[in-house]
Chains A and B, each alone.
Chain A
């Protein structure tokens, strides 16, 4: 047992030092500080490993880059797995290409550029289409300026400045729509596929081996499903539980799988799906629809005309209860988003300590000191995060179930 743990911790330490070494290899630029042109060239080269070690180490930027959504899976250094970009605009129609066409933001492709994971379009229609190299200084290929309280991005090509549109969004009013398979979308699809095959297999096992003890993954799934049935669905919904059980099981397993995949730092995981406000907003919107569509007359009566209180109080309570209808799914959205994001930020900040103490690879002693602090803490927090991953999936499900239970309850006065 202890031997096993020793092996795990050694692997963990080894991986941490591997990262450290990769960071060191790029951190040699400051040695020729006096020589300006060489420094410039080195600085430009160092940007390839997404700007983390260029000049000064910026922990905030590292964290924000890692918790954000991007169009590629970054592995290490210059290496990344590209993902398909699907962009639609009225004039140009459908544009599909791999995100490797951007060369980590160094190039524009068909007037589209990548700005820290967000796709943006060059406003000027005369900008050449196809692959076009951008001119940048060091790590900055896109300039950000503030004008009238709004962020305006621009790029430089052959000495001329071109303005960028905002990233695509529902109400952003951009000329293009972004349907790209980003890191988050990929992980969501992966989670859905994984669950589909696991449950198909488990259901098949029950059919082919009736009245037998479950084995392997079937065992795990049975425990989790029975947990949701007995701890969530039955106590919260009573005899109406069978109608809502498929929905409850779906959200529980989807959130759990996405949370756990988010804890894996390398390729199949690494996406911060449930720590993305859009994802949790969609989950909360579905909960909102399920609760309100199934709301019985009693539920609406308790909102608009609370029984058993004086008339003046009824008028006073109605707007408060009406706000309550919206704050419940809103709190579901914020809770999941903030819990997962906070966990990721803490782990990234702890790993970032290595580079803060090591001054971005200049001081080996500092790096080792930082690693000595951060590795045990990261291990500890990763275990806490494993608990949180399960707990948040459970909390989301049980709160949704309790809202459904309250909405579908028939009172007998």
Chain B
């Protein structure tokens, strides 16, 4: 059960992080639509980096299940 709580906490962190990236990214695209392609690529890469941290936590939670 504790591992599930850990996974949930990690999801909160990743949610905040990805939310920030998406929000700021869309803001930037709205300001400068012609740069949308570059911004989108960088947005995805940053989101993947943020997500990786949460997934590390999920894997540890998964391993710590027993």
Residues on A lying within 8 angstroms of B by beta carbon are: 231, 235, 331, 334-335, 337-339, 342, 391, 394-395, 398-399, 402
Q: Is the CB of B51 within 8 A of A335?
A: yes
Q: By the criterion of a CB under 8 Å from any partner CB, how many residues of chain B are at the interface?
A: 11
Apart from A335-B51, A335-B52, A339-B51: 19 A-B pairs, beta carbons within 8 A: A231-B41, A235-B41, A331-B49, A331-B52, A331-B56, A334-B52, A334-B55, A334-B56, A335-B55, A337-B59, A338-B55, A338-B58, A339-B55, A342-B58, A391-B44, A394-B44, A395-B45, A399-B45, A399-B48
A217 to chain B, nearest CB (A): 26
Q: Do B48 and A395 touch across chains, with their CB atoms under 8 A apart? A: yes
Given known contacts A231-B41, A398-B41, is B48 in contact with A334 (CB within 8 Å)?
A: no
Q: Which of A231, A337, A338 gathers most chain B CB within 10 Å? A: A338
Mostly helix, strand, loop or mixed at chain A's interface? helix
Assembly CA distance A331 to B49 (angstroms): 9
User: What chain B residues lie within 8 Å of A399 (beta carbons)?
Assistant: 45, 48
Closest residue of B by beta carbon distance from A231? B41
- Of B44, B56, B58, which is within 8 A of A395 by CB? B44
Chain A neighbourhood of B58, CB < 8 A: 338, 342
Give bound CA distance, A339 to B48, whole Å.
10
**Within the assembled complex, what's the spacing in Å between the Cα atoms of A334 and B53?**
10
B55–A342 CB distance below 8 A: yes
Residues of B within 8 A of A235 (CB): 41
The residue of chain A having its C-beta at the shortest distance from the C-beta of B58 within the complex is A338
For A331, what are the chain B residues with a Cβ–Cβ distance below 8 Å? 49, 52, 56
Q: How far is A231 from B42 in the complex, measured between Cα atoms in Å?
A: 11
Q: Is the CB of A398 within 8 A of B45?
A: yes
Which of chain B's residues have a CB closer than 8 A to the CB of A402?
45
**Complex: how many Å from CA A339 to CA B55?**
8
* B 37-66 to A, binary, CB cutoff 8 A, 1 in contact else 0: 000010011001101100110110000000
**Alpha-carbon gap, A384 to B49, bound state (A):** 19
Q: Could you show 29 A-B contacts with beta carbons less than 8 Å apart?
A: A231-B41, A235-B41, A331-B49, A331-B52, A331-B56, A334-B55, A334-B56, A334-B59, A335-B48, A335-B51, A335-B52, A335-B55, A337-B59, A338-B55, A338-B56, A338-B58, A338-B59, A339-B51, A339-B55, A342-B55, A342-B58, A391-B44, A394-B44, A395-B44, A395-B45, A395-B48, A398-B45, A399-B45, A402-B45
A residues near B51, Cβ cutoff 8 Å:
335, 339
Nearest 6 A-B pairs (CB), nearest first? A338-B55, A395-B48, A335-B52, A331-B52, A338-B59, A334-B56
Q: How far is the CA of A6 from the CA of B59 in the complex (A)?
A: 38
Q: How far is the CA of A399 from the CA of B52 in the complex (A)?
A: 12
Give Cα distance in the complex from A235 to B56, angstroms. 28
Residue of B nearest to A230 (CB): B37
Which of A235, A335, A399: most chain B CB closer than 10 A?
Answer: A335
Distance in angstroms between the alpha carbons of A398 and B48 in the assembled complex: 11
Q: How far is the CB of B55 from chain A (nearest CB, A)?
A: 4
Contacts of B52 in A (CB 8 A): 331, 334-335
A323 to B55, CA, bound (A): 19
CB distance from B63 to the nearest CB of A (A): 11
Q: Which residue of B lies closest to A402 (CB)?
A: B45
Say how far A397's CB is from chain B's closest CB, in angstroms: 11
Q: Which A-chain residue is minimally distant from B37 (CB atoms)?
A: A231
Please measure, in the bound complex, the distance between the C-alpha atom of A391 and the C-alpha atom of B58, giving whole angstroms: 19
Set of chain B residues within 8 Å of A391, measured between Cβ atoms: 44
Give chain A residues whose Cβ lies under 8 Å from the Cβ of B48. 335, 395, 399
Instruction: Tell me how far the C-beta of B57 lies from the nearest C-beta in chain A, rounded to whole angstroms.
Output: 10
Once the chains are docked, how many angstroms separate the CA of A334 from the CA of B45?
15
- Complexed CA–CA distance, A39 and B44 (Å): 55
Residues of B within 8 A of A231 (CB): 41
Output the least CB separation between B52 and chain A (Å).
5
- In the bound complex, how far is the Cα of B59 from the Cα of A337, in angstroms? 9
A398 to B51, CA, bound (A): 16
